[in-house]
Structure 1
Amino acid sequence: METVPAITHRKIIHIDMDAFYASVEQRDNPEYRGKPIVVGGLPQGRGGVVATASYEARKFGVRSAMSSKRAVQLCPQAIFIRPRFDAYKEASGRIREIFHRYTDLIEPLSLDEAYLDVTEDKLGIGSAIEIATQIKQAIRDELQLTASAGVSINKFVAKIASDINKPDGLKFIGPSSIEAFMETLPVEKFYGVGKVTAEKMKKMGLHTGADLKRLTEDEMSQHFGKAGRFYYQIVRGIDDRPVQPHRETKSLGAEDTFPYDLTTAEEMNAELDKIAETVIKRLQRYELQGRTITLKVKYSDFRQITRNRSFTKPVGDLDTIATIAKELLLASGIDDVKVRLLGISLSNFGEIEPRIISKGSDPDQLKLF
């Protein structure tokens, strides 16, 4: 009688820091603790955007990506703070050091979020739930911050699980309960389902995973294209995407939204010089050069354009990037326009000769950009 081999599942953890920027501010500034904190642009003048809000502010409906003016309407007592990205990067680097104690299969999604594959963990613990518990405790003890963790057999389910018991949560969704869990999930929670697709689904009478499950794979593809095949699999708990510790950088750049509209070529060129300097620093950090330079322009009426120029060989010097950006701007027409935002990015990368890393630097730290 043949023995049926046991099914081996991956052990995936998704770690998501709780209100990360706001929590760092409350940790470093005792006067902010227990108060509604909003990190992002200030509401005065034209106003900015909320990067994140403390849970005290979220109780009033303040959310990330919301305009700061709207945030102050919802929570007049909110304390608005400009971001301190250096502090967030430093904390993120220390969090990643904690991850590396358990595994090197780490896929950072941002400063405050990452996937970990602990199928084979360095310490031989064997239990993904125990590893997640230890990581959360280390983050609390060493950084005085809290994280939420989701544990499952694939990335999609682990990510959904990490959001269930926030803040300071830990949720495990095992193989036997995945399909039942997915059936109860609202369609807007599915990976890749944006507002437009969610509305389309609801008009078709598809509100939950159970509703999606009624459609065949061909029907899903007919209605939703290539993404339909992914939805067909994921609603059945199938997600074979591996944790990718070395995600390829597709583009790198910088942009700036101005406190007042730029109306002259002199003003715009001066800002492009500053942005180009920031781009150069980031290119050097990642040891990259690009064959394509892209200019982004947003006008006062929020109309947006991009213009680019490609080269046969990679470029990565300040003069070239700044000069090409200015030429692209001039070619786009700058007479009688009001510019709200300018950005420069490079893509289509080629590697450059490795530079010597100075002692004490950390090239593998999680980066914001």
Structure 2
Amino acid sequence: MKVYIANFGRQNYEWPVCRERGTVATMNALDAQRYWQANDREGYVSSRMANDTTATGKKPTKATASRWFNLMTTVAETSGDVWVHKDGDELWWTTSKNDAPSFESKKEPIARGREVVICHKPCEPWSNQSKKGIPLKWNELHPKAKDFLSTEATLQSLSPSYRDYTLALIGGDDLSGWHSSPLWSKRNESAKKGYAPIKYGSQADKIAYQRASEIFDAAGAAERMAHTAVNTANSANGQKVERVLKKKDLRFASAVALQDYIKELMEAQEYCCELTGLTLELDEANGDSAMFASLDRIDSSGHYEPGNLQVVCRFANFWKGASDDVEFRRLIEVLQASARM
């Protein structure tokens, strides 16, 4: 069983339909659906990179477009998985059924108004209560749980530890084992000092605070990576260092220019690791350090310059080292395919 955190269309326009019908859903642009139906990943990716944008208006990277290709497969084939959706101050959940999906054409009821094909997969009736009848209120959740129980991406599959917590939350079970752990306790303490979504005020206040937090987190990660790259490049250009480094010229006018470029990369990647597709950890005060955003040169013998950079999880950057990017991606795909079996 997997647990997915999901949104249903840009601005969540399909969520009311999903809640009413008891489904989970995703959609493809009409001109992209034929590639998915033909299982033509390359055609789909090329089409989306040329003709689509992310929620922030950026052209998607190849890895992002490839994740989009997987979305409809995930929704169409889900069975017995738990799906979670945040709607304002409520947390909703359901379990997917082993029923056939339906595919329906629709014009998006939002500004861009694309013609799309929507895949609806039947599930159990959506609920905003635990199995023991306890209302699932967002402002009553542990701060650490808030970090992973909502997403800006279309869909996110939770790691085993977060999955188990979510299942316990939905079951109305005792959560003290998680809440008393050092990592969760630290996150709770930082929330008391102001690092947490506000609990009171209008919905607009909550959304504004959340977006501001996301922007500052992303900017902080980008600034750290930019300064790391500048320092590494300077060290490789003749300054005394503790270890031998290859020359790594930095082809940006300033750290600020690189920082802006990194932020653009993260937006185009929808804040996911370009190599693994995993969500980047932007909370560098309390988060999992292995998942921190890390700047990687696609060609490790090349420069820090536009076109040769990608943002990845720190552990993926460490594992990849100086390996060939294409070969490393192939091995990651082998691991992911094995995990899906």
TM-score, structure 1 as length reference: 0.27
Return the index of the structure with the highest Cα Rg: 1
TM-score (norm 2): 0.28
> Relative to total residues, which structure has the larger helix share, 1 or 2?
2
Q: Which has the higher strand share?
A: 1
